[in-house]
């Protein structure tokens, strides 16, 4: 049960003031805010974070309620209209005419809203999605992306079975269930502190959305192969690939960031994998790329993208991106995909993936790649999943949606070099 107080109101006002200029990612701003406020307890931190993310998800509604320029009213309106606070709880916190205004705001928020307010997307994003979807589907997409995400785990099947993890988490009262598609997936309601759980500490589970887990099954690496995770980041998908390889073969984790690769090392140690080789690359002409050109069996390109498929977790992204940013991102994605394709040997498999919901970053990149690379052909994602008895059919492409599949929004295309 939430407990609203003047101290929490003051903390939320300060947090909102720090986050809402949106000059930096909301999660990093909040992390700094909590470091600067060590007196806040775990429950208080959770309420501050939930309030901030709720306001980011429904920013256009709150703007309609004329709250954005008044931090006190913004927090109170967030609590009353989005977090379901009882008005009697909020009455002692109101000043002057705030309580009467708050009642009117709550009635207005519950009334029927125009499409752009109901979806709570920027106009440019609505326009782009309307090129593909009608308004009914658009509302469903928005409802899915504006909900809180459950916590998905990937079981390290080299160490333990999924059934054993489900049983252990159930014993601990966490109410787990198997994910419907990934053979290694477990879903937990809410946001338990899983990083403190023995299963996490021992490397038996990793936090990974089910949609992300499915990418490794599209790559489908074998134990004896040479495999590259071309944009490895902190290595969540790298570890999933290594697990499927049973720590055999050789798995290269490429990234341009030393910091991101450094974050992979403790995760590797927990996982027990011995076939992962992190390598920083400077650019497409890096010596590592040249040395491995034409020799690799399978390559995953989880390309840098807008991340708009992850709005359940990162709602600030929809307000921070512009159409020009998206166009520039798509240009980079085309270059990265072309560079990564040079690594493949004949018969090799290349998977291009994003956590975006935009055609510019997804199908348009794929179509241009195929038009410019006659030595590649597309392979059906449906067929690859069927071979592994994964009950998911989104056609030739992998395409997941929160409102349909319960995952983040992911896209992937599979190519084979002729």
What pairing do the DSSP bridges indicate for beta strands 250-255 and 226-229?
parallel
pLDDT at 296 exceeding the cut of 70? yes
Q: Could you tell me which residues come within 8 angstroms of residue 22 by beta carbon, excluding any fewer than 6 positions away?
A: 316, 319, 320
Q: What is the mean pLDDT of the chain?
A: 95
Lowest-pLDDT range, 29-38, 93-102, 203-212, 365-374? 93-102
Percent of the chain with pLDDT strictly greater than 70? 100
* Residues 407/243, Cβ–Cβ less than 8 Å: no
199 vs 3: which has the higher pLDDT: 199
Q: Token match 């920013």: residue?
A: 59
pLDDT at res. 3: 80
The CATH number corresponding to 210-417 among 1.10.10.10, 3.60.20.10, 3.40.50.150, 3.40.50.12780 equals 3.40.50.150
pLDDT at res. 245: 97
pLDDT at res. 285: 84
List the CATH code of the domain at 151-207.
Answer: 3.30.70.1170
Q: Could you tell me which residues come within 8 angstroms of residue 207 by beta carbon, excluding any fewer than 6 positions away?
A: 151, 152, 153, 154, 194, 195, 200, 236
pTM of the shown model: 0.95
Q: Which of 12, 119, 305, 355 is catalytic?
A: 355
pLDDT at res. 356: 98
Do you know the residue count of the chain? Answer: 418
Tell me the average pLDDT across 43-59.
Answer: 96
Beta strands in 184-307 (DSSP E): 185-188, 205-207, 226-229, 250-255, 276-280, 296-302
pLDDT at 1 exceeding the cut of 60? no
* Residues 273/265, Cβ–Cβ less than 8 Å: no
pLDDT at res. 228: 98
pLDDT at 4 exceeding the cut of 90? no
Cα 347 to Cα 356: distance, rounded to the nearest angstrom: 28
Q: Token match 């498929």: residue?
A: 309
pLDDT at 2 exceeding the cut of 70? no
- How many C-beta atoms surround the C-beta of residue 83 within 10 A? 14
Tell me the average pLDDT across 294-322.
Answer: 97
Cα 26 to Cα 49: distance, rounded to the nearest angstrom: 10
Residue 402, CB-side half-sphere exposure with 13 Å CA sphere? 25
pLDDT at res. 284: 79
Q: Could you tell me which residues come within 8 angstroms of residue 137 by beta carbon, excluding any fewer than 6 positions away?
A: none
- How many C-beta atoms surround the C-beta of residue 120 within 10 A? 25
Tell me the average pLDDT across 59-87.
Answer: 91
Lowest-pLDDT range, 65-69, 133-137, 183-187, 344-348? 65-69
Cα 109-113-118 angle, rounded to 5 deg: 90
- The DSSP secondary structure of 226-254, one letter per residue, reads EEEETT-TT-HHHHHHHHHTTT-SEEEEE
pLDDT in tens, 220-265: 999 999 999 999 998 999 999 999 999 999 999 999 999 999 999 9
pLDDT in tens, 186-210: 999 988 989 999 999 999 999 999 9
- How far are the Cα atoms of 48, 155, 415 from residue 169, in angstroms, in the given order? 27, 12, 38
Cα 9 to Cα 257: distance, rounded to the nearest angstrom: 38
Q: Could you tell me which residues come within 8 angstroms of residue 305 by beta carbon, excluding any fewer than 6 positions away?
A: 329, 333, 354, 355, 356, 361
- The DSSP secondary structure of 91-113, one letter per residue, reads GGG--TTHHHHHHHHHHHHHS--
2 vs 185: which has the higher pLDDT: 185
pLDDT in tens, 127-149: 999 999 999 999 999 999 999 99
- How many C-beta atoms surround the C-beta of residue 383 within 10 A? 11
Q: Token match 């309609």: residue?
A: 64
pLDDT at res. 219: 98
If residue 353 lies in a helix (H) or strand (E), which one and from where to where?
Answer: strand 344-354
Cα 337 to Cα 353: distance, rounded to the nearest angstrom: 10
What's 415's DSSP letter? E
Whether 355 is catalytic: yes
Percent of the chain with pLDDT strictly greater than 90? 92
- How many C-beta atoms surround the C-beta of residue 380 within 10 A? 13
* Structural domain boundaries in the chain: 6-113, 151-207, 210-417
């Amino acid at each position: 049960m939430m407990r609203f107080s003047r101290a929490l109101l003051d903390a939320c006002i300060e947090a909102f003031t720090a986050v809402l200029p949106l000059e930096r990612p909301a999660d990093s701003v909040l992390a700094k805010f909590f470091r600067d406020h060590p007196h806040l307890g775990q429950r208080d931190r959770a309420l501050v974070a939930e309030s901030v993310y709720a306001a980011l998800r429904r920013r256009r509604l709150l703007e309609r309620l004329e709250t954005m320029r008044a931090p006190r009213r913004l927090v109170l309106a967030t609590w009353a209209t989005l977090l379901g606070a009882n008005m009697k709880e909020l009455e002692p916190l109101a000043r002057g005419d705030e309580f009467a205004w708050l009642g009117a705001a709550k009635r207005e928020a519950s009334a029927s809203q125009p499409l752009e307010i109901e979806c709570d997307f920027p106009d440019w994003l609505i326009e782009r999605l309307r090129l593909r979807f009608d308004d009914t589907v658009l509302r469903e997409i928005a409802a899915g992306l504006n909900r809180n995400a459950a916590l998905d785990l990937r079981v390290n099947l080299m160490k333990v079975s999924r059934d054993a993890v489900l049983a252990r988490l159930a014993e601990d009262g966490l109410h787990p269930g198997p994910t419907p598609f990934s053979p290694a997936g477990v879903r937990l309601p809410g946001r338990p502190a899983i990083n403190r759980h023995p299963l996490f500490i021992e490397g038996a589970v990793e936090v990974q959305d089910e949609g992300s887990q499915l990418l490794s099954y599209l790559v489908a690496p074998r134990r004896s192969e040479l495999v590259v995770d071309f944009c490895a980041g902190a290595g969540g998908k790298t570890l999933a690939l290594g697990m499927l390889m049973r720590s055999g073969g050789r798995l290269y984790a490429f990234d341009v960031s030393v910091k991101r690769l450094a974050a992979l090392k403790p995760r590797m140690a927990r996982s027990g994998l011995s076939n992962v080789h992190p390598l920083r690359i400077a650019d497409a002409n890096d010596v590592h790329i040249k040395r491995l050109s034409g020799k690799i069996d399978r390559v995953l390109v989880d390309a840098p993208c807008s991340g708009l498929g992850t709005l359940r977790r990162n709602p600030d992204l929809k307000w921070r991106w512009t159409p020009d940013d998206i166009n520039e991102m798509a240009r980079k994605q085309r270059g990265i995909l072309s560079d990564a394709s040079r690594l493949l040997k004949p018969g090799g498999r290349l998977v291009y993936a994003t956590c975006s919901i935009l055609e510019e970053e997804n199908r348009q990149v794929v179509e241009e790649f195929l038009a410019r690379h006659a030595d590649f052909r597309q392979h059906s994602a449906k067929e690859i999943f069927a071979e592994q008895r994964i009950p998911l059919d989104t056609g030739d492409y992998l395409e997941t949606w929160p409102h349909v599949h319960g995952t983040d929004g992911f896209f992937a295309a599979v190519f084979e070099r002729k």
